[in-house]
Chain A
């Protein structure tokens, strides 16, 4: 690993100056506040937040666009803890472990304290993962610059296998979704030979299926349909006593180690493509509980039970962005959507991002650290305000989201066909969700399909038809081994129930 150059620090300083520009700050605030609001509403996720931001993103330069996306991701990750603590319903699966001790603590009249521990842990996790993002991703990108067709092909296969295996309770369904995504990405004109494939003679399909309508349909429309039944039931939100806000000295002593451990777990889990916050939060919760003196207290509202999962799930944010930015392979479902959003803005994340758009990357790095501080201020300052998010009636919010979905899919090409395609993907996504087929592998298949075929073709042409190119370099060999491991380890884990938290994860989500 090369020592960090003075240019790098100068770049970070320039990035900070770009971040402090009014327009970038405004977009960061929109991302953060929007993320906290969407994260706090059960059923609304960071992925949906990014989709709703799409019409805005088209009009942004790359730097502010990256900052807005990251802000939405971090804000939503923190926001999920609000509903987990106050109404025992995690805003998203990554906040599921926070329910276990957060809600009992709120019931004891310490909702303010629980929320402040959550925000402090989230910020600590975010800051530590931000440091990893800043120092690891450029190094990884430098290595990736040496990649040729065989490495890119095996990397794409690795990305497909790992997200299919890790995001699904049923690995077969994850693989089917991923395979379908790859197949759908091949509709249109073949990039190398110029042959039209599966277009059925229509002009609309000649340029292939657009990624944007698929994103809007699978992540936003489908959720709207899925939540329809819940909103009709009209669930009543219980009120909690906020009480004291800042943690006492005794609480600080108890949460420091769990925060550090949770952050490290979150970063490591986040870097592994296809994993994400839900796994990290339960893993850190279980680990801290295992080494705790009074295990029986857990589940009754102990501060460690909030600090460990919250630092872990925010630790995944920076971690998940490392492979997304430097390799073009997302770390979890939100970064998969983020990757798609960046491609729509006209940028393909990967090693070339660090060559062609390095100033924007520096802006993201600086902004990522700054946004953690802003989350702390917003989180602590708004402890009495954020619970009101839960009062927003879903029967008002959802119709507005439908219109935002329409606008998001329409604005790409001012095309009603795109809006209609988004609706079709929404119906597909609804049934996929209903029957346990995860959407992220399908999106990843759509993104990685072209990269897989084009690089396989190039590698085969260069090697004159020999498949030994897979083992010509240590990197491609390593990716082949990782791909096999990523396929077979989850199968083995499911068989043996290797992870004790698996049952809890399933119950909570």
Chain B
């Protein structure tokens, strides 16, 4: 059980539901049947109830000190995930500038490094072969226009 996390998640879900219901107040009414805001309001109402049950259960567990909240992830692991996410996000953002063929080998190399590989020649060969082969496959045979180098 992740009681503290569940408690916070429950509260966030409740807040999210309230915000969604408030936003749905701006939707126009309908002459008959469901109005555009009715269905989202119903779903958000259900989510609010689920959120309150989740938060309530978690609060009860925390209060009773019955939870075994292990340190569910090591800081190192989260740091690695954060770095990987940052690398992928940067890759997607920079693709329109540097293009697939230039940027992909670099990113594959960096990711292999992040995953603990240290065989440099193998890393270089795999990075280049993968990038070129996927570029040729998608560009020439599947007619998908992958981003190209475009500084301006």
Chain A contact surface mostly: helix
> Is there an interface contact between B81 and A399, defined as CB atoms closer than 8 Å?
no
**A residues 181-196 touching B (CB-CB < 8 Å):** 182-183, 186, 190, 192-193, 195
Known contacts A192-B33, A198-B20, A456-B34, A411 near B92 by CB under 8 Å: no
A181 to chain B, nearest CB (A): 10
**Is there a chain B Cβ closer than 8 Å to A219's Cβ?**
no
> Which single member of A224, A411, A423 contacts B138 (CB below 8 Å)?
A411
- In the assembly, what is the distance between CA of A186 and CA of B88, in Å? 28
> Is there an interface contact between A414 and B46, defined as CB atoms closer than 8 Å?
no
| Chain A, residue nearest B46 (CB) | A179
> Which single member of B33, B43, B54, B107 contacts A460 (CB below 8 Å)?
B33
In the complex, what residues of B have CB within 8 A of residue A17's CB?
A: none
> Is there an interface contact between A406 and B92, defined as CB atoms closer than 8 Å?
yes
- In the assembly, what is the distance between CA of A186 and CA of B138, in Å? 33
> Is there an interface contact between A225 and B9, defined as CB atoms closer than 8 Å?
no
In the complex, what residues of B have CB within 8 A of residue A426's CB?
A: 85
> Is there an interface contact between A435 and B43, defined as CB atoms closer than 8 Å?
no
Known contacts A193-B28, A407-B138, A427-B85, A435 near B53 by CB under 8 Å: no
B109 to chain A, nearest CB (A): 8
> Is there an interface contact between B74 and A229, defined as CB atoms closer than 8 Å?
yes
- In the assembly, what is the distance between CA of A78 and CA of B44, in Å? 41
> Is there an interface contact between A434 and B72, defined as CB atoms closer than 8 Å?
yes
In the complex, what residues of A have CB within 8 A of residue B144's CB?
A: 55, 407, 410-411, 414
In the complex, what residues of A have CB within 8 A of residue B40's CB?
A: 183, 186, 197-198
- In the assembly, what is the distance between CA of A234 and CA of B115, in Å? 9
Contact with B along A448-466 (1 / 0, CB 8 A): 0000110011101100110
> Is there an interface contact between B126 and A396, defined as CB atoms closer than 8 Å?
yes
> Which single member of A180, A225, A406, A456 contacts B39 (CB below 8 Å)?
A456
**B residues 11-65 touching A (CB-CB < 8 Å):** 13, 20, 23-24, 27-28, 30, 32-37, 39-40, 43-44, 46-47, 50-51, 53-54, 57
**Is there a chain B Cβ closer than 8 Å to A13's Cβ?**
no
Q: How many residues of B contact A (CB 8 A)?
A: 64
A374 to chain B, nearest CB (A): 25
- In the assembly, what is the distance between CA of A389 and CA of B130, in Å? 19
> Is there an interface contact between A231 and B92, defined as CB atoms closer than 8 Å?
no
**Is there a chain B Cβ closer than 8 Å to A395's Cβ?**
yes
Contact with B along A422-460 (1 / 0, CB 8 A): 010011001000111000000000000000110011101
**Is there a chain A Cβ closer than 8 Å to B128's Cβ?**
no
> Which single member of B47, B77, B117 contacts A228 (CB below 8 Å)?
B77
> Is there an interface contact between B111 and A172, defined as CB atoms closer than 8 Å?
no
| Chain B, residue nearest A436 (CB) | B2
> Is there an interface contact between A186 and B112, defined as CB atoms closer than 8 Å?
no
B114 to chain A, nearest CB (A): 8
In the complex, what residues of A have CB within 8 A of residue B73's CB?
A: 229, 434
**Is there a chain B Cβ closer than 8 Å to A257's Cβ?**
no
**A residues 379-422 touching B (CB-CB < 8 Å):** 393-396, 398-400, 402-403, 406-407, 410-411, 414, 416, 419-420
In the complex, what residues of B have CB within 8 A of residue A427's CB?
A: 85
Q: Which 9 A-B pairs have the closest CB atoms?
A: A395-B115, A399-B111, A195-B36, A461-B33, A395-B117, A229-B77, A457-B34, A453-B39, A190-B36
Given A56-B142, A197-B37, A396-B112, 9 other A-B residues pairs in contact with their CB atoms under 8 A: A183-B20, A231-B115, A395-B117, A398-B115, A400-B108, A411-B144, A416-B96, A435-B9, A464-B32
